[in-house]
Amino acid sequence: MIIRHNGLILAFDVDWDTKRSIVFLRGIMDLIDAVKVGWLQLLNIGPNGIKELTSGINTYFLADIKLGDIAHINEYVIRRLRDLGINGVIMHAVTGRENLNGVAKLSRDLGIDIFLLISMSSGGELYDLNLDYNVKLGTELGIAGFVVPATKPNIIRRVRSMVGNNYQLLSPGVGVQGGKPGCATASGADFEIVGRSIINSESPREVTLSILSAIKDPRC
């Protein structure tokens, strides 16, 4: 599980080299609880670069490749990500029980968390039509938590009411996509996930601090 100090996860969607990435992260690491990496790192600095990042920065690393394949590919990817120092992985719920069962057990054995994507910050209507089914599936699989959109606070509230406090809810869509800082956590999420509002800012530390004050004192 992700330890909650501030309630904020950085969506680190950058194509920077490892050196620049590490300098940037060191500037705000005390303000964020986890770093989400994904396709931009895989395609630009590659697996070795990701390993350099996870070795160079002491935090929880979440891999967001929205994994959703058949079971044996899913399991291979989870093992490789674990070798790279990744602590948690985002997976699509839509591939269903047969493709997720084995990987859920493997993740527990390896000590890597799975967060299931069950609703999207934009579109995702097929997910929303099957929300209750996917939440139930996740709880039966014994995963760590769910991804719920900051742009749909009613879905955050619904999922929280279904799962109680045993699952972590991570919420993207804050800032550029329209979610107001502080309002996803006020609706029941454990963490808000923010990318461009911080990364593209001239003063990332100040922006991060202002998001943290909104999380502490939400006005929704």
Nearer to ligand O7E, 13 or 69 (CB): 13
Q: Check: CB of residue 39 under 8 Å from CB of residue 66.
A: no
Q: Minimum distance from CB of 171 to ligand O7E (Å)? A: 8
Is 217 designated active site? no
Q: Please identify, using beta-carbon distances, which residue of 72 and 176 lies nearer to ligand O7E.
A: 176
Scanning residues 32 to 71, which ones bind ligand O7E (CB under 6 A)? 36, 64, 66
161 is in an annotated binding site: no
Judged by DSSP in three states, 122 sits in coil
Residue identified by tokens 């992985």 is 89
Q: How far is the CB of 175 from ligand O7E (least distance, A)?
A: 5
Q: Which region, judged by CB under 6 A, interacts with ligand O7E, from 49-57, 69-77, 113-121, 212-220?
A: 113-121
Distance separating alpha carbons of residues 86 and 146, to the nearest angstrom? 17
Cα–Cα distance, 200 to 11 (Å, whole number): 12
121 known ligand binder = yes
Give the whole-angstrom CA distance, residue 86 versus residue 112: 8
| 3-state DSSP assignment of residue 141 | helix
Task: Please check if 195 is assigned to a binding site.
Answer: yes
Residue 151 and residue 189 in contact, taking contact as beta carbons nearer than 8 Å = no
**CB closest to ligand O7E, residue no:** 195
Residue 96 marked as a ligand binder: no
Stretch that binds ligand O7E, among 18-26, 67-75, 192-200, 212-220 (CB under 6 A): 192-200
* Contacts of the segment 169-174: beta carbons below 8 A, 24+ positions apart: 169/145, 170/2, 170/9, 170/62, 170/115, 170/145, 170/146, 171/147, 172/11, 172/121, 172/147, 173/121, 173/122, 173/149, 174/150, 174/211
d(C-alpha 176, C-alpha 126), whole Å: 23
State yes or no: residue 176 binds ligand O7E (CB under 6 A).
yes
216: annotated active-site residue? no
Q: Is 15 a catalytic residue?
A: no
Q: Is 36 annotated as a binding residue?
A: yes
Would you count residue 86 as binding ligand O7E (CB under 6 A)?
A: no
Give the residue numbers of the binding site for substrate: 13, 36, 121, 195-196
Give the residue numbers of the binding site: 13, 36, 121, 195-196
User: Which residues in this chain contact ligand O7E in the complex, by CB under 6 A?
Assistant: 11, 13, 36, 64, 66, 90, 117, 120-121, 147, 149, 170, 172-173, 175-177, 193-197
